[in-house]
Every structure is written in C-alpha cells, then in structure tokens.
Structure 1
Amino acid sequence: MKNKQHHIVKINLPGGIISAGNLLQVLKLAHALEITELSFGHRQHLLLEASDAQIRQLQLHIGNNTMEVNADDYPNIMSSYVTDEVFAPYSWLSEGVYKDIIYSFNYAPRLKINIVDREQNLIPFFTGNLNFISSDINNHWYLYVRFPKTNRMFHWPSLIYSGDIAEFSRSIEFIILSEHHLFYNKSDADGHLLVEKLTRKANFNTQPFLQQLLHTDFQLPFYEGINTYSEQKLWLGIYRRKESFPIEFLIALCSLCIERRIGQLYTTPWKSLLIKNILPADRIHWSTLLNKYRMNVRHASNELNWQLEDRCEEALDLKWKLVKAFEEADLRTSKLCFAIKTTKQTGLFGSIVIQKEKTTDGVTLYQVMHTHNFNPNSKQFIHYGSATDIQDLSSLLIHLCHFYYDMHSDLPEKEDQNEKEVRENENNSVEIYACKYCLTQYNPLYGDPQQAIPEGTSFQLLKEYHCPTCDATLADFRPVM
C-alpha cells in the first residue's frame, strides 16, 4: 500500500474505544486534507494513508504522541470492552472497570497488551505480549506472558489486581526491554526468572489462583447489522468487505452519534466498527444513514471469520479467492476462523492458519496449519499440508474443514470403565513433538506428506526433518505429550 508519496499513519485507540467528538475532529481534519478513506487494524487502531504534506498537517493538529508513520513501535492496547453487555454475559467486568484500567496507562507501552474477558469470543486472548484474562475473583486477572518475537507462553503464578495492571505492565516491560539477552526473541526465555526479577523490583497486590483458566468453546459471534441487546437497546456493527470506510460516511456517523447522545464508538480486531446504546425509537435514523451511504450490513458469515495483516492487498485478494471457493463448495465454517500470514510474526488469530512462504527456487508455497483442538486461542500449531496454487489450497482447506466436522459429527457415547482405560492408554502412547521456536507440532498419527513421511511414523524413527513453519531442525523439537 505504501509508495514514494504516501505513508501509513497509525493512530492508537486504547482499548478499542474513542469518543464520537474526538473521532469527528480527526475525520474533519482528514476530510479537509482530502483524505477520502480510513481503516481499522487488527489491534483496534485507526489507519489512514497520507502524503508528506498531509502528515505534516496531521502532526500539527493531532500531535506525535498519538500517531506513528510507517511504524508500530507503540502497539495499541487491545481490550474486550466492545463486548460488554453485547457479546459477554454479565460479570464483575463492567464498563467502569475497563475504563479505570485503560485510563491508568499514563505511558505508551512498547509491548502488546491485551485486556480480555474470558467469557467472550470476539477478542483474542493471547495475541499480546502481556495478556490479562479475567478470573472468577472480582478485579483480579490471570496473566499470560508471551515473550516478544516468540510463541513461548508463561503463565504468571498469581492473579493481578485491576488497579495494578498498568504499573505491573510498565515494570515487566522495563525488565524485558532492558535485558534483551534474557527475554527478547529468546525461545528459551525463563518466566520464573522474570517473576524473580519483578519481585525484587516492586511489590504488587497479587493473589494465588485456585484453578486454571477455563474458557468456553469458541464461536465467533455475528458482529454486524442492527441487533437488540439488554431490554431496550440496539447495537449496530459495520464491516467493510475491502476494509476501508469512507470519511464522509464516518463524519455523518459521528454526527448522528452526537445528535442521539451516544458518547463513544468501538473497534474490533475484525476491522469493524460498533455502536451501542441505540434507542429503538431512533432505529429509523440509523437505517436512513446506512441507506444514504449504501452500507451493506448483512454479509455471509464465511467472510466475517478472517484475520488479515493490516492493509495487505495480497492477503485480501487471497481471502476473496478462498471465500469464493468455499461458497461454490457450499462449505460450513461455523466455529472456525482463518488467518492469512504473508510474514511470519504477525500475531494474528485463527483456528486455521495459512502461511505464505517462498521456496529456495522462488516458488510460492502455502503452508496450512490448525491449532490444537481448533481452538484459535491456542498457540500450538499442527501442520496439515501445503499447496503451491490457489486451487490446491482451496481443496486442502475444504478437506481440513471436513476433518474438523468429522470430529464433531457424533454425540459422545457412554463407555464402561475398562473401555475408557484402554482408550486413555492408547492416547497416552502417542508422543507429539513441538518445535521449540514456533510450537508447530509433529503428530505421528498424521506424519508429514510434504516431507514424504507417512502416517504412523514415530518421531524417534525420523533421520531428517525440519519444521514446516520456521525450518528449525529435528534437534529443535521437544516432546509435549
């Protein structure tokens, strides 16, 4: 998207929220500078394309503290605030708690921070470096540290208090960034050493957790259209097929929010926009707005469950070719979501991941992986296969979807204790190995057809093998089951 004259401007929206008035100011400035469209990123931030002259005006009026040009040195704080009342059941995690935490960040984090309600499925859990997940105890959070530039995850041994999250994050960030040799881009980073160093540095209000994090089965909610929630409220979700929103439409949208006394708007990691607190009596105003700007808010669900890199035309083009193939196959994709990566370290979220690579001969290769149990919040990847063209890739993905539904096509049958013990012993006899760098798994039940390894081949019998994701060697795999 970037060329010699134009650059990508990123404006952070901490927590994925912005007041209608503040957004309107940005939009009017962009419109005056003849910028015609903008988009939202997968970390809930705002993106627009601008020339050198336009950037100088944006910096003059917005300031360098809230925007970056062609950079992401200060990632947006991601939160599930958007799901409150709409996609998440009632819990102690309310609007006030979200705001208190988000507003307590009086510095710009350099690590990715996620603040997430465990009861919802719209916002990913572990795409940050510091992932705070709500617990059963009021105002206390699980913390999962994903060390920068790795998939290595460490579960913090205690719960973190809401009021400490900002300062806790600052302290961990200082240690990680000041001791690169221990914690940055280190697949063997020691989480317990990080705990020890933080304990010596500061004293925080933590609490032991009584049980591990439990999460409901994943099912991405339908996040667009005009819908009812609570007793007398509506919400409006707007998704754009090409990811871009016309500036003129957004100006009219913010103006209507202010007119109807709606204070803020929300962004999602699916690059969509959401407005809450619409009164049923005002529905006609919102429908009229959508009519005027020809906004479609009823897309097929099999195009809403994709994660792409920000402003990546190549990934967007590939997505539409695959969606078309899915439609022709009349394919079911419920409870699945897909991610397309044209670069390896993108932090995208998906139960099925398509990784584009180039072979040594310059041939494009699409590696297809799925997460453990097809849980998109898992960081354990299982290689399924690879393809060299779109047709083969489409077929491979369709087969993988059928494989998923084959796993969920029968009701669980009752079994006596002896049968259960036999089954558990059989399962325990399968030893799975994972790459220590990217956690891609080798499962002997599948083998690896792309490396001419047949199904049923034990890892111990392999003489040569490399990770299909990051090319790590055989010696870089570790047993996980």
Structure 2
Amino acid sequence: MRDYYTLKVNLPAGIVSPGTLQTILRLAYAANVRKVQFGARQQLLMTVHYEEMRFLEKDLQRHGIVYETNPEEYPNIISSYCGEDVFHTGAWLRESEYHTILDQFEYRPRLKINLSDSRQSFTPFFTGNLNFIASPEPHFWYLYVRPKRSNSLFCWPQLVYTNDIGRMARAVEIAMLDGKYHDGQELARAVTDAQSFITQPVGQEVDLPQFSLPYYEGFNRYGQRSWLGLYRPDEQFSVAFLLDICTLCLQTRIGELCATPWKSLIIKSIEEKDRAAWSFVLGKHNINVRHAANGLAWQTEDHSDEGSRLKNHILRYFERDDTRTFGLCFGIQTRPKTEVFGSVLIRKRPILRIGQLALFSVYDLFYTENFNPNSRVYHLFEKGLLRLHLPNQLNRLCRTFNARWLAQTPDTIRPEPDKTDTTLVAVVPLYECPHCLTVYDQQYGDCLNGIAPGVSFASLPAEYACPTCDAPRSEFRPLTHEMA
C-alpha cells in the first residue's frame, strides 16, 4: 500500500468560488493536509496520507465534491478566463461567454479541452486534444484537434458556435475514443453526418499573437479596481493562507478565484477600500509579491519536486549572470509521457536503467519553432548535458534568441545618423519601477496618484507608490532621458 496519494479536484476553466474552495480546504485541513498546489491545467492538487484518505474521500463525497486519486482519466478544462479584463479585453469574448460554455458540459470530458481568446498569450493554445480558439467572427470558435499521444493538429473545417461547443466536444470525443476515428477528415465527416451544428466555414486559419508573458504577480490596477496575482517559488500554497483568502473574498463580495496554467492564483475585482485588508492577509502569512519576472516564466510537471529544484538551481545562475529572458518561457520535463508548456524545453533522459530505476541521467535542451511556445515543432539545441552544464547552455540559448529577435527587427535598432544640430540638450531624470517597469516622468506626473505634471521625483511624497504594482518609491531606480 502506498503511504501517500495524490488527490485532484478539477476547477473547470480555472474558476472556483471562494465558498467551494473554502469547503475543500477545510476538509483537506481536517485530513492533515497543510499545503496544496495548483496544477498546469488549472486544477487543485494535494498529497494525502493513506490513513487519512478514506475519511477525506467520504467528506468530499458528502459535500458533492468531484475528485480523482492518482490517475488522470478526466483532465480539467482550461481557459484564458484568468486573464480576461486584467491582461487584455477580447474583441467580443467576455467572461460571461466562458460561463455559457461551461454550463454546456453536463459530462466529465475524457479529452483535454482548451478554451482560448486568440488575442492573448498568457495561456496555451494547443496543449489540449480539443482546442477551441475564439475567431474574429463574434460567437464563433476555431477548433483544432490533436489526437491523444500525437503531435499533429487538424483544423476543423467549420467555425463552431458558442452554444454548440459542449455538444461538439462530446461528439468529437465519442468519435475519437469510442469510434476510433483519428484521421481529421474522417473524424469531421463522422461527427457532422451524425448530428447538425451551427457553423460557419473557416476562411483562414487562426492568426496567433506573438508570445509575451505579462508580469502576473502582486497588486495591479485595472479601471477603478485591482487584481492580485499570487505565485509561490516552490509552487506550494499553505492551506491556512488560502482559507484566509477565501474568507476575505466572502467578506468583500468577490465571487471567483482564478487558477492559472503557471500554477498561480489571480483574484480580480478588489475594491480600493479593501486593499489594506488584503495587505494584512499577505503580511500575516509572510507572502512576498515581488519576485523577479524571469522566475515566473517557468512550468514544471505537477507534483515534481525535482523539477522545482532544477528550476531554482538555474534561476540562481540567471540572477548571477543577469541573463535576459524576456520573451521566453521555460518548461522542465523529468518524467516520460508528460507535457509542459514552454518555448525552451529541458528534458531529462536516463541513459542507464535497472528495471524502472534510472541510475544516471542527462538533459537535452530544445527550443520551439520561432521560439513560440504554442508551436508543436521542437528543435534540438544541445543533448547529453550534465546538470552543472545546463545554466551556461541556457544562457547561450537565451543569447541566440535575442540575436534572432534583433535580426528580425532591424528597423528598431538601426543607428541614427549623427546630428549636426548643436542645440544644448537637457537631461531629464526618469525613474523606473524594477518590478513592472512603470516609468515616472516628471514631464507627465502621475494622474492616478494625483501628481501634477512638472513634479520632480525628488519632490514626491515619501508614501508615493508605483501606480501599477504599488512598489514603494524607495525601490525605483534612475534612468536617463534626453530632451532637445
């Protein structure tokens, strides 16, 4: 008998109400679970001792909480809902559309389903078996099918209407898993011949945005409210902290929490009057929300302590060498037949085995086509690396990416011709927030904080904070800006 079991609770589209999460966490705490994780498919994960497992299962069943232990027969539906309104606003896709779709799933999907806004890059597009992507045509979606254990993508010949997504997903799943259809054209014919759907022809395939990972931690303003991003370097959230978060959400009338594919949590719609209460909870549990941006751009396998340790090992070298990682995200794969999202993939490969025991392993380093993490094509950069060689080779790969990016955008780096104008140039100091890169320019002031144009940085009040992420004035760093 195993000593510990992995228990998974799916959070469809990464959305969970504070009341539901509070119930799950209280039951977990009663079963001596003290820390939990959010998985790469926006699900809730916890490790439970076998002596507590049967009691926890009875409690979850009594409260109607659907769960799985160890096998992944029913993968979670993931979505870009967590980024709606805070990172981007779709042309027609709104949060209500996601709820409309989720209400259609009266069954538990056996295939991985992704729901994505085509204008964002925070969540992956093609890691599912059925990948629905919002099209430019209002209320119609692309469907890209990727058979299980396959790297090939098939674009469905019609756009699917929002209200038909659940029914279409069910029909495709039955045809793929029970009917054994895997060829794209045969699959489409089998599904559409059996029943009718509201569709439109696909004019051209989806045009995906260039990948850019937003900084998703800390307090950030949008409109008259704020959202809070919570990330833990070890991917572990204490149950006590999350229970306090749920209580505060209920007290301040916040109806949803959003798990992200980066194993973090986003809380939207925080009112300005409640900011002090949120800061109190963060301080009570000693939660830091000022991690470096290059530490956020990593994805490891669920419940992989080895992957987390390797990530932190590499990050220490990145910080020492000041490695530029902007525009890249990294995935670590330590187990076979797992999938992680990244434009750079570190894959562990055993070269000496005795039965199931790997005695000696090396690492292969890959990057995706055009360094786009949504690409399904991987190129080998280096193979057979020892752990101690990984940081230097990754540094080299990052430099390769930057060189390619500069070569593709020559207009932005072409030097200007020398000026013959001898007009004196005044140097106006600028100050930059090191966390979110917001710049304070005295020429414009800061309307959000009531600072009029012309006020120098030195004249700002001591309590001044970054208008984007609330970093204190003391953490800003000087830049220089030339004005004729």
CA separation in 2, counterparts of 1:212 and 1:195?
A: 16
CA separation in 2, counterparts of 1:56 and 1:90?
A: 44
Aligned partners of 2:2 and 2:50 also within 8 Å: no
Aligned match of 1:146:
146
Aligned match of 1:427:
none
Determine whether 1:228 maps to 2:228.
no
Within a 5 Å distance, the mapping from 1:75-474 to structure 2 comes to 75-180=75-180, 182-183=181-182, 190-229=183-222, 231-359=223-351, 363-410=360-407, 412=409
CA separation in 2, counterparts of 1:161 and 1:345?
A: 33
CA separation in 2, counterparts of 1:178 and 1:275?
A: 39
CA separation in 2, counterparts of 1:301 and 1:65?
A: 35
Aligned match of 1:436:
none
Letter in 2 for 1:391: L
- TM (norm. structure 2) is 0.81
Instruction: Tell me: CA distance 1:413–1:258, structure 2 relative to 1, closer, same or farther (3 Å).
Output: closer
Shift of 1:91: 2.2
Aligned partners of 1:18 and 1:265 also within 8 Å: yes
Shift of 1:48: 0.7
Shift of 1:65: 6.6
Shift of 1:293: 0.5
Shift of 1:112: 0.2
CA separation in 1, counterparts of 2:409 and 2:106?
A: 51
- Residues 15-24 or 192-201, more deviating: 192-201
Residue-by-residue CA offset, 1:396-417 (whole Å, 9 max, x unaligned)? 1111110000112257458xxx
CA separation in 2, counterparts of 1:360 and 1:198?
A: 46
Root mean square deviation, CA, Å:
1.6
Letter in 1 for 2:370: N
Shift of 1:325: 1.4
Residue-by-residue CA offset, 1:397-440 (whole Å, 9 max, x unaligned)? 111110000112257458xxxxxxxxxxxxxxxxxxxxxxxxxx
Aligned match of 2:463:
none
Letter in 1 for 2:19: G
Which ranges in structure 2 are unaligned for 5 or more consecutive residues? 354-358, 412-484
CA separation in 1, counterparts of 2:293 and 2:37?
A: 20
Shift of 1:90: 3.9
Q: Residue 341 of structure 2 aligns to a residue in which SS?
A: coil
Shift of 1:103: 1.7
CA separation in 1, counterparts of 2:343 and 2:232?
A: 22
Aligned match of 1:432:
none
Aligned partners of 1:144 and 1:156 also within 8 Å: yes
Shift of 1:54: 2.4
Which ranges in structure 1 are unaligned for 5 or more consecutive residues? 184-189, 415-481
Count matched residues. 404
Q: How high is the sequence identity, in percent, across the aligned residues? A: 41
Greater Rg, structure 1 or structure 2? 2
Aligned partners of 1:9 and 1:49 also within 8 Å: yes
Q: Residue 86 of structure 1 aligns to a residue in which SS?
A: coil
CA separation in 2, counterparts of 1:154 and 1:90?
A: 24
Shift of 1:66: 1.2
Q: Residue 373 of structure 2 aligns to a residue in which SS?
A: coil
Instruction: Tell me: CA distance 1:258–1:399, structure 2 relative to 1, closer, same or farther (3 Å).
Output: same
- Residues 218-227 or 25-34, more deviating: 25-34
Aligned partners of 2:352 and 2:361 also within 8 Å: no
Instruction: Tell me: CA distance 1:51–1:153, structure 2 relative to 1, closer, same or farther (3 Å).
Output: same
Q: Residue 148 of structure 1 aligns to a residue in which SS?
A: coil
Q: Residue 409 of structure 1 aligns to a residue in which SS?
A: helix
Residue-by-residue CA offset, 1:220-250 (whole Å, 9 max, x unaligned)? 0111101101x20100010011111111111
Aligned match of 1:19:
17
Shift of 1:203: 1.2
Q: Residue 75 of structure 2 aligns to a residue in which SS?
A: coil
CA separation in 2, counterparts of 1:61 and 1:96?
A: 32
CA separation in 2, counterparts of 1:90 and 1:199?
A: 29
